[in-house]
Chain A
């Protein structure tokens, strides 16, 4: 069924999925780039954001407040996790870091399951974003367009914070050489805490924004985590522009493969990752020797 109309529509699907993946992966990659910790609880942060948004929505009935409240909650959760757990693992081998974040992810998922049950929760899209929008010959759900816009704006904001502010400069310097940043009299740990909070927020924010599309279960973060890893490997681990590029590429691969045969869409993602690893092991926009 490869027609022009379908091709364009799938390109659009790819863009929407890609923007979402970019946002989640950006959180994952800035945490890794800055702290050197590969956060396997990132999928749980995505899920937790959705549930936090769900709770706020239940209390207030406002989608905007749900997004704001959920994001704020995730900054706090991220900060606390860094302070209480992650901080004690900077000096330990990567295996320990992987295990502790992996375990943390399981604990969070099961706590949510305990609190909310395994049944699906729904947050409807805001009233003004219901229905479909006619884009020439293409009909597209309005909320998905809104989601695309939200993701683009958030990525831009994240870019500004990272590349146009003092905090961003410190973070980027910390990625290159955290010892030197410390010697310059900057409290690296405080920066780390903020970065972990922002990274968690990016995932949580994506989680809430995506909830009206797919609805919530405690397992919703699992498959997302795997895809986010593929994205940052393709884009270059630790690189913010790489996460964005990788996200868009992954989204398009996924959607365009679906046009031909959906059964292969996940597989093609890994094929792409394998090719990137063979041809350019540091990822498309990654630099060698960052680790």
Chain B
């Protein structure tokens, strides 16, 4: 840590020097590859080069680099997320009315420039994601990075963003750390996370099932799993006297859950709180049924998994199951922007969007708004534009970014699994029971140790 700090300090020192003398600017920009001639003279006087600025925004188009999992445990969710991003890019470039509702200053493109997106498969692996983004930075001069679907990736890309001074908006990331102890000045998160999930879902569980229950947890062994499990257990034990009788920690991408489930079957738990995600969640739930644990125990999903229901393939296992989520398509009945989004998505992809797609779309739309309001592509200006905390319309009502930790303050949606008989169509798996306003759910900005770091 110390080393990287000191090296970024020296980079800053060089930049400052370069700005002050007005010389050597090209050499100090990323990789020394940005020729002076490409800089837009109007901004060059005020803004020294930083990261991929100004090389990345000097042409007629700007590029976003996305590293999403297209293979492995989180592939299904990654693909959905990517669809949302691609739809957003299309809407930004055409000046679609939905984008204009979220980012009122948008006309066509971002500050008149066409937006392009380049995509790599991260397989939800931090190394792959960082490598891909580093390539995008040097080859494509991307001005924005995105993608995660694993908080381990989000945290790694946060650090890359801060080091390279290239902005990053997370894909799906549920760890408290992403905007907590691993938060950075260059990173922003749209979606909900362990703390807000627990604070929204906890009261619902206590109301529905009462106090003093015994719960078994299944936790994937990385930052997302540990923080979500801790937030859930903290809430339920403090406010409802629930007891964690066992916590079964497994590696991301585990396939055989027999040992874990055997422990749970013998733990005396009444509830199975499954924090596993993606294919891990599907397999652990299917196998819990094979072991006779479900539906005997009551299943709880604190951090909803897109396509969980079709993956599990047995709706009786999800009937009455409570989950916290970011978005569910039936919110179209409640929010006009959600209706526009679901319709546009269905028209393009012939399927309902899941919450990952909504997250991808909203992240890009909010970014477009931040850039339009900054009036230029200089990253510190865009960051300050985000931090201004403008109230904006979204697919789940009014939202705003919290300047102190770069977390979007947004509602958490509580859903309950429908019985097979209640389903009105083949994608009607969940019913929205509550939309909990975001403000009351969040911790104090510094409670999880967030220290954003410098602008330059």
Contacts and interface: CB of A to CB of B under 8 A. Distances in A.
A and B form one complex:
yes
Interface of A: 1, 3, 5-6, 9-10, 13, 16-17, 113, 118-120, 122, 132, 139-141, 143-144, 213-215, 217-220, 254-255, 258-259, 262-263, 265-266
Nearest to A113: B71
A9 B256 contact: no
A143 B287 CA distance: 11
Interface of B: 70-72, 75-76, 121, 123, 221, 246, 248-251, 253, 255-256, 258-260, 262-263, 265-267, 279, 282-283, 287, 290-292, 311, 313
30 contacts: A1-B246, A1-B263, A1-B266, A6-B263, A6-B266, A9-B262, A9-B266, A17-B256, A17-B258, A118-B72, A118-B75, A119-B76, A120-B279, A120-B282, A120-B311, A139-B292, A141-B287, A141-B291, A213-B287, A214-B255, A214-B256, A214-B283, A215-B255, A255-B262, A258-B259, A258-B260, A259-B263, A262-B249, A262-B259, A266-B251
A259 B259 contact: yes
A262 B72 CA distance: 22
A109 to B, nearest CB: 10
Contacts of A118: 70-72, 75, 121, 123
Contacts of A132: 290-292
* Centre residue among A16, A118, A119, A258 by max chain B CB count within 10 A: A118
Given A13-B258, A262-B248, A217 B267 contact: no
B75 A262 contact: no
A139 B265 CA distance: 9
A10 B262 contact: yes
A116 to B, nearest CB: 11
B259 A265 contact: yes
Contacts of B292: 132, 139, 141
B259 A144 contact: no
B256 A213 contact: yes
Contact of B266 (A5, A119, A213, A217): A5
B256 A1 contact: no
A254 B254 CA distance: 14
A262 B221 CA distance: 10
A228 to B, nearest CB: 15
Given A213-B255, A254-B259, 4 more contacts: A1-B246, A9-B265, A144-B258, A263-B221
A10 B259 contact: yes
A149 to B, nearest CB: 16
Nearest to A213: B256
A255 B279 CA distance: 22
A119 B290 CA distance: 22
A139 B291 contact: yes
B259 A13 contact: yes
What are the 10 A-B residue pairs with the smallest beta carbon separation, nearest first?
A: A118-B71, A258-B259, A214-B255, A141-B290, A6-B266, A9-B262, A132-B292, A139-B292, A13-B258, A118-B75
A212 to B, nearest CB: 9
Contact of A16 (B248, B258, B265, B282): B258
Contacts, number: 88
A211 B423 CA distance: 30
* Centre residue among B221, B262, B311 by max chain A CB count within 10 A: B262
A9 B263 CA distance: 9
Contacts of B258: 13, 16-17, 144, 255
A10 B261 CA distance: 10
Contact of B259 (A120, A143, A220, A255): A255
A219 B72 contact: yes
Contacts of A16: 258
Contacts of B267: 1
A92 to B, nearest CB: 33
Contacts of B249: 262-263
Nearest to B79: A119
Contacts of B283: 214-215
Contacts of B256: 17, 213-214
A215 B313 CA distance: 13
Contacts of A258: 259-260, 262-263
Contacts of A262: 248-250, 259-260, 263
A5 B291 CA distance: 14
A51 B267 CA distance: 36
* Centre residue among B75, B76, B256, B258 by max chain A CB count within 10 A: B258
Nearest to A255: B259
Contacts of A144: 258, 290
Nearest to A222: B253
A122 B311 CA distance: 10
Contact of A220 (B75, B123, B246, B255): B255
Nearest to B291: A141
Nearest to B290: A141
Contacts of B248: 262
Contacts of A266: 251
Contacts of A1: 246, 263, 266-267
Nearest to A220: B255
B255 A218 contact: no
Contacts of B266: 1, 3, 5-6, 9
Contacts of B253: 219
B262 A119 contact: no
Given A9-B265, A258-B260, A262-B260, A119 B250 contact: no
Nearest to B250: A262
A218 B71 contact: yes
A13 B291 contact: no
Contact of A119 (B75, B123, B246): B75
B298 to A, nearest CB: 18
Nearest to A122: B313
A10 B257 CA distance: 12
A13 B266 CA distance: 14
A272 B263 CA distance: 23
B285 to A, nearest CB: 12
* Centre residue among B72, B123, B259 by max chain A CB count within 10 A: B259
B213 to A, nearest CB: 18
Nearest to B311: A120
A195 B313 CA distance: 40
Nearest to B249: A263
A222 B25 CA distance: 48
Contacts of A220: 255
Contacts of B250: 262
